[in-house]
Amino acid sequence: MSFIDTPDGRRAQQIQNRFQGSLEQIRSNDHLTPEGKKEQIASEYNGVVQALGQIKDSFNSAKTLRTHVLRRDLFGNTTPSDAQTAISFRDAQDRVSSLGQFDQEKALKLLDQAELSGDTVMVKALMQQAIEHSWDQVANSYAERHPFYGDKLKELLSLQTPKGIFTNQDSWEKGTLLNVQKPEELGFG
Q: What pLDDT is stored for residue 170 in this prediction?
A: 54
Q: What pLDDT is stored for residue 41 in this prediction?
A: 95
Q: What pLDDT is stored for residue 77 in this prediction?
A: 67
Measured between alpha carbons, how far is 24 from 78 in angstroms, rounded to an integer?
Answer: 57
Q: Which range, 20-24, 60-64, 138-142, has the best average confidence (pLDDT)? A: 20-24
Cβ atoms within 10 Å, residue 139: 20
Rounded to the nearest 10 degrees, what angle do helices 7-28 and 34-75 cross at? Answer: 170
CA 24 to chain centre: 35
By the 8 A CB rule, do 4 and 171 touch? no
Q: What pLDDT is stored for residue 164 in this prediction?
A: 42
Q: What is the mean pLDDT of residues 133-159?
A: 84
Three-class SS state of 103 = coil
pLDDT for 4 beyond 80: no
Q: What is the DSSP string of 142-175?
A: HHHH-HHHHHHHHHHHHHHSTTTTS-HHHHHHHH
Q: What pLDDT is stored for residue 81 in this prediction?
A: 66
pLDDT in tens, 57-110: 988 898 889 988 988 888 876 566 678 877 888 888 888 889 988 999 999 999
Q: What is the mean pLDDT of residues 31-46?
A: 95
State which amino acid sits at residue 12.
A
Q: With cut-offs at 50, 70 and 90, classify the pLDDT of residue 167.
A: very low
Residues in the chain: 189
By the 8 A CB rule, do 74 and 151 touch? no
Q: What pLDDT is stored for residue 28 in this prediction?
A: 95
More confident residue, 128 or 82: 128
Q: What is the mean pLDDT of residues 16-45?
A: 95
Q: With cut-offs at 50, 70 and 90, classify the pLDDT of residue 11.
A: very high
By the 8 A CB rule, do 4 and 173 touch? yes
Measured between alpha carbons, how far is 45 from 20 in angstroms, rounded to an integer?
Answer: 10
Q: Could you give the count of Cα atoms lying within 13 Å of 82 in the half-sphere of its Cβ?
A: 1
